[in-house]
Every structure is written in C-alpha cells, then in structure tokens.
Amino acid sequence: MFSGYLTIAVFLPIATALLIALMPRRDQWIRWTAIGATVVELVLTITIFIRYEIDKGGVQFVDLFGNWIPIEGFDARYLLGVDGLSAPLVLLTGILGAAAAFASWRIKHRVREYFIWLLILQSSVMGVFVSLDLLLFFIFWEIELIPMFMLISGWGTGRPRYSAMKFVIFTLAGSAFMLVAILALFMSGQIGTFAMVSIPEEGIVGIPEKMALATGLIAPTALIFAFFLIAFAVKLPVWPVHSWLPDAHTDAPTAVSVMLAGVLLKMGGYGLIRISAGFFMESPDFQIRDAGWILAIGAAISIVYGAVLTLRQTDLKRLIAYSSVSHMGFVMLGVAAVSATGSKTASGGLNGAALQMFTHGTITGLLFLLVGMTYERAHTRHIPDMGGLAPKMPLIATAFLVAGLASLGLPGLSGFAAEITVFLGTWDVWPIATGISAFGVVLAAAYILWMVQRVFFGPRPERFDDAEDATIVDLIPVVGLIAPIVIVGIWPAVITDTFEIGIKATLGL
C-alpha cells in the first residue's frame, strides 16, 4: 500500500532544500521558496490530521515499501504511517515548521545555507514522527542532529559552538544506547521485526504484540528498557541529563529554538509513549509499570528543580529554556501513570502527557519567537536591563502575555487543559510525586508573571524609546501559534480525541 501523503510530507522540505541549493543566490527568492514549501507542508499536515479517521483508528496513510535491506532475516522496511498518537505531532511539526520559516525572515547571513539546513531539519523531524519501522525511525532520529549542529554553531549567539557540540554529544550518547537496544530487540529470535506497530491489513505484526509473547530476550528486558529510556530522557530532557538544553536553546537562533523546543523535545516524549510504554506494557519478565517510580521521581525532580532554576535566570531566553525542562517534566509525569493497576487506568495520564507535548510545542514555540522579536528590538536579553516595553510594542507584549498565561496554566488556554489532565491521570497512581509537581505550577506562575512584569512594565529606560512593534510578517507566525493555544484551551477534544485513540491502541487497552 502506498498512499503517498507521508512520503511527500517527509521529502517535500528536503526536495525544496535541493531546489534552493540550485537556485540563484537571491536571498528574497530563497526566503519565499522556503516559506512557500513550509506552508504547503502545513496544509498537507492539516489535511492528514483532519482526514485521519478517528472512528476507524489504527494506522492510516500507510506508505510501505518492502525490504530496503533485503537480507534474509533483516526485515527493515520503509514503513510510514500515522496513528492517533502521531497525527497531532505531525500537525505540530507542520505548524512550527511554517512558524520557524517565517521567524527566519530576518536572517541576513548566509541565507541559502541557513534555509537548506532548516528544511532538512523539518524533513528529519517529520520522518521521526511518521516512521513506523524502528530502524528508519532511528535513521531520521540521527539525521536531525546534523542540521541542528550546523544551525546552532553557524547562526547562533553567545557560545554557539560549545552549545552545538554539547547538544550533539548528549544526543548521540543517548541514541547510542538506543541503537544497541534496537539491535538487541531485533536479534532476539521471537521479535525479528523492526515494525513498531501492528498493521493487520498489511500482515505486519509489530514489536509490541511480539513482546507480549517473547521469552528469553537476548538481554534482560529491563536493560533494553533502560537503554531506550536513556535515549528518550536525554531528548526530553529530564533531570539529570537536561544540561544540554539551556545552552542549546539560549545560543540557537530564534527559529531554531522554536523548532528545538517545539518539536525536537517532543521526539523524546513520543519515543517514551510509543516505545517505552508501547513495547514494555505487556513484555514478560519486566513491565514498564515496575519502572513507573523512576519516571515519577525523575519527573517530579525535573518539574520542581527546573522551575526553581527558572526563577533565578536573568537571561530572557535562558529563562524560557529552563521552563521547558520543568514543563517537559509533566510529560514524564503523565507517562509515569503506566503504573496504574486494578481499577485505575493509565490512559488518563498518558493522554495528558501527549496533550502536554502538543501544547508545550505551541506555547514555548511562541515564547521563543517572541523572545527573538523582543531581543531584536531591545538588543538585550538581560532582564534587569529591560522594562516598560509594553507601550512601545503593544502587540508583542500582548502576545507574550497570552503565551505566558498559557504557559503557567491559565484555564481557558491549552496549558491548563494539558496539566490538569496529567494531574488527574497521575494523582491516583503517584499521589506524592503529583503533589510535589503541583508546586511546579505555582512556581511557573511566579517566574512567568515576574518576567513579564520586569520586561514589559515598570519604568522604561530611554534607549528603548524608538523600539518598534511587530510587523505583519512577524505577526503571521504569532497568530498562527496563538490560534491552536486558544482552540485547544477551549476545546481540548479536538486534539485529545485523536491522542486517546492512539494511546489506547499503543498501550493495548
């Protein structure tokens, strides 16, 4: 079967990158081509999201191309598809890809190379979310590093080279464990497939189903689980492997921070749900529910520790970066609900985790976008030097406030919906960790409101007198990101219905 949607979605950006490489060196043309491609990509992802039939469920839009390593017993397929878990994340990638392209409007330096890397980045992230073959998934997971490395070290600020290398080494070290885990799974006779899900129509039996029956894996099941967990924990990131994130975010150019916070971190959460939870729910010898306490503790520490560190930041961008550590902790906390037994159910917590990924993507993406705009106008990110910017740039200030309120979990915006779902889902299972994590929300209110107050209100230094407000081009991505925040905030079901069907299928409930 070959529906083609996803293949186009994965390869459209990279094809555009090739086109740009061959185009004449006219910066304006390159910008419009890149933006055009990401907008087409956005339309495509919206189409995929809308046309995903929730009633039918399962994997849809399958692109299958038999064995691309046709060796006996090496069953690696080109297998793309979306289910309820990945469809919203595909949409998220489309939204943020377009937003990042618009946000790159002001890049003046080596425009051509910049957009080439940005488009390759989008292709690879898209590939991660739609690959349903573990080896293909891993390949896209790795490819994503090169454009990130080049973008951060080439167009970043501060200490870009240090941060880019730190990012790459952390992630590569994590994925090293993942590759060993993948091979260990595959080499175990009873598994013998790389398919991450079962697709009955195609006669594909995925790893989760095989795991349920597998005995005597090549390595202890708990060890394989731990290896996967390391990779995802680095990517998410969770304390104590989070330290690459503040550096990479702070030093990356605006659009790259948007992509990094918006989509790249979600790869970790996606892997956690699809692989850690999906594969190890019913595996013999060891089940993920036995490791739930590790997830819960890691999550609680990340949330509170991240929030406390955020409070102390004086660099606007670094502040948002640390808040990501705290907020991604909620994803981990939601996943910890897999330990639910008896009458309690895990799906609530995981739904919350998935929704938190989507909302954090849009909210933090927007925050980074606005930080970038503020920085361009104020020429500083040092919070104590700022103040009173709201009257000069009312549009940016308003958008910042909306994003900030969504981030701290104001009811009616999407952050609240996600966090409350996580809390409700996890409370039954891990009451203490959930209780501690609730402090994260209180601290979030503190650091967001304090930051907005210090940056946009109060006395204004004279040098900001000629600061200008956002232009139309600036506003397009801002509006594009506020829309899902508000829509999901008022009507979370638009996303959660899809997530729910996917998570139920993933967990085999």
List contacts with other proteins (CB under 8 A): 68-71, 113, 135, 138-139, 142-143, 146, 149-150, 153-154, 161, 164-165, 168-169, 172-173, 175-177, 179-180, 183-184, 186-187, 218-219, 223, 227
CB of 74 to other proteins, least distance (A): 8
Using a 10 angstrom Cβ sphere, with 0-12 exposed, 13-18 middle and 19 or more buried, the burial of residue 53 is: exposed
- 223 versus 294: smaller Cβ distance to other proteins: 223
- Residue 272 is given by DSSP the state I
What is the 3-class SS of 135-148, one letter each residue?
Answer: HHHHHHHHHCHHHH
- Identify the helix (H) or strand (E) that includes residue 489: helix 472-490
CB of 140 to other proteins, least distance (A): 8
- 133 versus 419: smaller Cβ distance to other proteins: 133
Alpha carbon separation from 177 to 147, 223, 383 (Å, rounded): 22, 10, 39
Pairing state between β 77-82 and 60-67: antiparallel
Alpha carbon separation from 284 to 136, 180, 210, 217, 222 (Å, rounded): 26, 20, 11, 9, 10
CB of 69 to other proteins, least distance (A): 6
- 17 versus 373: smaller Cβ distance to other proteins: 17
- 113 versus 282: smaller Cβ distance to other proteins: 113
- 186 versus 270: smaller Cβ distance to other proteins: 186
d(CA 476, CA 359): 19
CB of 221 to other proteins, least distance (A): 13
CB of 426 to other proteins, least distance (A): 32
- 173 versus 212: smaller Cβ distance to other proteins: 173
CB of 122 to other proteins, least distance (A): 17
Rounded to a whole number of angstroms, the distance between the first and last alpha carbons of the chain is 27
- 142 versus 428: smaller Cβ distance to other proteins: 142
CB of 70 to other proteins, least distance (A): 5
- Give the dihedral sign, CA 229/233/239/244: positive
Residue recorded with tokens 């809390």: 423
| 295: Cβ contacts below 8 Å, ≥ 6 apart | 332, 333, 335, 336, 338
| DSSP-based helix, strand, coil % in the chain, nearest 5 | 70, 5, 25
Residue 341: count other Cβ atoms within 10 Å of its Cβ.
Answer: 10
- 71 versus 472: smaller Cβ distance to other proteins: 71
- 43 versus 187: smaller Cβ distance to other proteins: 187
- 107 versus 303: smaller Cβ distance to other proteins: 107
Residue 481: count other Cβ atoms within 10 Å of its Cβ.
Answer: 28
CA-closest candidate to residue 57, choices 505, 507, 508, 509: 505
CB of 177 to other proteins, least distance (A): 7
CB of 215 to other proteins, least distance (A): 17
CB of 148 to other proteins, least distance (A): 11
What is the 3-class SS of 15-70, one letter each residue?
Answer: HHHHHHHHCCCCHHHHHHHHHHHHHHHHHHHHHHHHHCCCCCCCCEEEEEEEECCC
